[in-house]
Structure 1
Amino acid sequence: MSLKKAGIIIILILLIDQISKFYIKTNFALGDEVEVFDWFRILFVENEGMAWGTKIPGEYGKLALTLFRLAAITGIGYWLWDSVRKNGSRLLIVAIAMIFAGAFGNIIDSVFYGIIFNDSYGQVASFMPPNGGYGTLFHGKVVDMLYFPLWKGYLPEWIPFWGGEYFTFFEPVFNIADSAISVGVALLLIFNKKAFPKPEEEKK
């Protein structure tokens, strides 16, 4: 698979991701929700940190996280280029392209959204507000909106530790970029042998 085709996959994912985030940011206030089905809702939340809302403490925690993401995507980009150069399997290149696109999509939020949008607390944000954004460069928040509460209810009392507690499955809110990363990683794990085929000499 060529680098050009991998680039098309990346661009398509980035376009879908960023268009959806721009739409949510400029049409929803934080916490606004639209029920599509009982098990699927559009819910606007913002993630200041890593996956599952984890944050790095301290004044420079957010900056450190964004710089780490930039370093990580550089490594993923090299992995993609090297895999194409070495004629890696189509599955491997597609998976890496999806992971790269997802990581890049969330980096755009982290780097730029703080300066191109104002905040969404109790209001719908504006794009390029005249009084400046809600943050500074490298201090943006990642926009999430996909919510799949497939089941809600109280767990049976006999379950250790969590018995009797109210539980939601699936509770995390995520975005298109997160989905691309998850699918890319899943492809590598599930189809590991196809993604990393052994040379003919090793098979013999």
Structure 2
Amino acid sequence: MKITRLGWTAYAVAIATLVVDQISKVWILGLLGREQGSSLPLLGPLHLTMVHNYGMSFGLLRGTDWGRWLLTGFSIVVVIGLAFWARRGRKLLPALGVGMIIGGAIGNNLIDRVLYGYVVDFIDVSRLHFPWVFNVADSGISIGVALLLLDSFLSEESKLSHQTE
């Protein structure tokens, strides 16, 4: 099957998300080093804090080497599946969302886990009562999922409005 224009858009967004994520991690490692917990105030409640995330969301599978490779393998399967789905993209929001998820998954769960054995997290807004430290890839995945949900909601709204006319 031929790749649509929006499929190429999804791939470009994936690459952009991945590049920004990896550049930010190289920068933060140069700035803070690899010492767990080292922190630097940046602007108001925003701090840069080095956190080694060995698990997945909320620390699940933390501390197990098999968990690291399980997450890596699962990410490969997800990225391949999303890449095939993106090929036939026909709507902008899902193309952007899938691209961000692909880029974030490659950055966090493939590159970081293989290179470092953990995900490099450093964006710390805990002073705003958000307890997790995260990174650009996490943001890409979260925004990507939000865009997919928004598209689903808008599509459902459109179907409902056409049915009532």
Partner of 1:109: 112
Aligned residues: 155
Report the alpha carbon displacement of residue 92 of structure 1 after superposing the two structures with TM.
1.2
Considering only CA atoms, is the larger Rg found in Structure 1 or Structure 2?
1
TM-score (norm 1): 0.67
User: Is 1:2 aligned to residue 6 of structure 2?
Assistant: yes
Report the alpha carbon displacement of residue 197 of structure 1 after superposing the two structures with TM.
8.3
Question: Greater share of helix residues, 1 or 2?
Answer: 2
Report the alpha carbon displacement of residue 177 of structure 1 after superposing the two structures with TM.
0.3
Q: Please give the residue correspondences for 1:164-179 in structure 2 after superposition, counting only pairs within 5 Å.
A: 169-179=129-139
Q: Do 2:54 and 2:63's aligned partners in 1 also have CA atoms closer than 8 Å?
A: no
Aligned structure 1 segments of 4 or more residues deviating by more than 6 angstroms: 196-199
Most deviating of 97-106 and 71-80: 71-80
Residue 121 of structure 2 aligns to a residue whose secondary structure is strand
Report the alpha carbon displacement of residue 2 of structure 1 after superposing the two structures with TM.
3.0
Report the alpha carbon displacement of residue 182 of structure 1 after superposing the two structures with TM.
0.4
Q: Share of identical aligned residues, percent?
A: 32
TM-score (norm 2): 0.81
Q: Please give the residue correspondences for 1:61-72 in structure 2 after superposition, counting only pairs within 5 Å.
A: 61-72=67-78
One of 123, 136, 145 as aligned partner of 1:146: 123
Change (3 A) 1:197 1:7: farther
Partner of 1:92: 94
Stretches of structure 2 lacking an aligned partner (at least 5 in a row): none
Q: Do 1:89 and 1:194's aligned partners in 2 also have CA atoms closer than 8 Å?
A: no
Larger RCO: 1 or 2 (CA < 8 Å, sep 6+): 2
Report the alpha carbon displacement of residue 42 of structure 1 after superposing the two structures with TM.
0.6
- In the alignment, the residues of structure 2 paired with residue 79 and residue 149 of structure 1 have an alpha-carbon distance, to the nearest angstrom, of 36
Amino acid at match of 2:31: N
